[in-house]
Amino acid sequence: MKYTTFNQQPTDFMVEPMFFGNPVNVARYDQQKHAIFEKLIEKQISFFWRPEEVDVSKDRMDFQSLSEAEKHIFISNLKYQTLLDSVQGRSPNIALLPIVSLPELETWIETWSFFETIHSRSYTHILRNLFTDPSHVFDDIIANDEIKRRAADISKYYDALIFATQLWQTQGEGTHVVDGETHVINMRELKKKLYLCMNSVNALEAIRFYVSFACTFAFAERKLMEGNSKIIRLIARDENLHLTSTQHILNLWAKGKDDPEMAEIAAECEEEAREIFLNAVQQEKEWAHYLFANGSMIGLNEDILCQYVEYIANQRMAAIGLGQPFDVSSNPLPWMNNYLNSDNVQVAPQESEISSYLVGQIDSEVSADDFDEFEL
């Protein structure tokens, strides 16, 4: 079905599925099939921050005092996070917007991606402060095999969905030959690709960030690189919200509260979804190995970081009904939670009590006795 930026057919969004229904026309939020996405938008906007608000100037001195092994850990993590947010800053838009069918979900996807671009900009902010010319760090993201391997796995589900959607929207359902390769396009296959892609994104938001978060906060536990840590806390808070959104989408499908065909696909592809998660866990453990290849850092080593990945994976997999495959019952890095607590991330003093201080602050009710104490 050809994509149109403004579908002229009257559409009842209360009966549309989240994806692969009619294209959205009016961006209206007066009626919402899944009100949770509107709430997530409000929450995300209340979290708005700019990298420049965080002073990272002290980090430059700290960085120079780090050992070579620690510098490798710090910079490698920034490279990996730059990759993750480069992918997340564009892919939800390109992959999901052409197939979304609910206005509140469409706007959530745009809001979500926009915040990933703030994260990307913050890595440049951090690196500009550490190096007079940070270009060698960015250039290496494309050259580094360890990062490239992860990039391939992260982008392949997005790419498959995007390509199939393009074929479907230009050629329709059927068997199409492109550059000598045969592609079978039908709704079931498209929805399967969407389901696997959503699981891959969920795993990305759920665990891929957490190895580097753990390293960042381990530096902060030693009062090192604290500017960077403040930024990463803001990023972690946003990522938590993004994770919540993909968990909602997956659970709405699995519990049959949206598209009944997606419920069938969720049951059919459960094993593949589990594999996506377990692969991500394995890759994160390999990443931990690469980080500590030149030596450890105080307070953290490869073993404990791998246990943490397993612990976090148990939590995240249970949340989407995939069970708890790993034998780790207690958090090996309990101090992590202090950094992930949203009360501890504020940058502006006026935000020190509640993070969503922008919501409902203007009171337009004026009663007759409001000016009683007023004298001229």
Partner 1 sequence: MTTPTKGRMIRLSDGSAFSSSKDTILEDLEENNVTLEYHCREGFCGACRCKLISGEVDYTIDPLAFIDDDEILPCCTIPLTDIMLDI
- Is 123 annotated in the active site? yes
DSSP state of 206: I
| Binding string, residues 276-315; x marks residues near partner 1 by CB under 8 A | ---------------------------------------x
> Maximum distance among all alpha carbons in the chain?
85
Q: If binding means CB under 8 A, how many residues of this protein chain bind partner 1?
A: 23
Cα–Cα nearest to 77, from 111, 20, 123: 123
In angstroms, the CA 173 to CA 64 distance is 58
- The reply to whether 330 sits near partner 1 by the rule CB under 8 A is yes
Measured CA to CA in angstroms, residue 189 lies from 20, 108, 143, 268, 330 at distances of 12, 25, 34, 12, 40
- Parallel, antiparallel, or unpaired: how do β-strands 181-185 and 174-178 relate? antiparallel
Stretch of 8-16, 20-28, 120-128, 243-251 lying at the interface with partner 1 (CB under 8 A) = 243-251
Could you tell me the smallest distance in angstroms from the CB atom of residue 339 to partner 1? Answer: 9
In angstroms, the CA 250 to CA 364 distance is 39
- The reply to whether 341 sits near partner 1 by the rule CB under 8 A is yes
- The reply to whether 262 sits near partner 1 by the rule CB under 8 A is no
Could you tell me the smallest distance in angstroms from the CB atom of residue 206 to partner 1? Answer: 11
- The reply to whether 45 sits near partner 1 by the rule CB under 8 A is no
Cα–Cα nearest to 241, from 187, 267, 268, 205: 205
Residue 12 and residue 32 in contact, taking contact as beta carbons nearer than 8 Å: no
Q: Which of 11, 186, 251, 324 binds partner 1 (CB under 8 A)?
A: 251
Residue 355 token pair = 């993070």
Measured CA to CA in angstroms, residue 198 lies from 155, 189, 202, 250, 307 at distances of 12, 14, 6, 7, 25
Q: Which of 75, 147, 218, 243 binds partner 1 (CB under 8 A)?
A: 243
Q: What residues from 70 to 109 belong to the interface with partner 1 (CB under 8 A)?
A: none
Q: Which of 341/352 has CB closer to partner 1?
A: 341
Measured CA to CA in angstroms, residue 337 lies from 46, 222, 344 at distances of 22, 16, 10
Could you tell me the smallest distance in angstroms from the CB atom of residue 251 to partner 1? Answer: 5
Residue of 123, 157, 158, 210 marked catalytic: 123
- The reply to whether 186 sits near partner 1 by the rule CB under 8 A is no
User: Where on the chain is the footprint of partner 1 (CB under 8 A)?
Assistant: 36, 39-40, 43, 237, 240-241, 243-244, 247-248, 251, 315, 319, 330-331, 334, 337, 340-343, 355
Give the catalytic positions in this structure.
Answer: 123
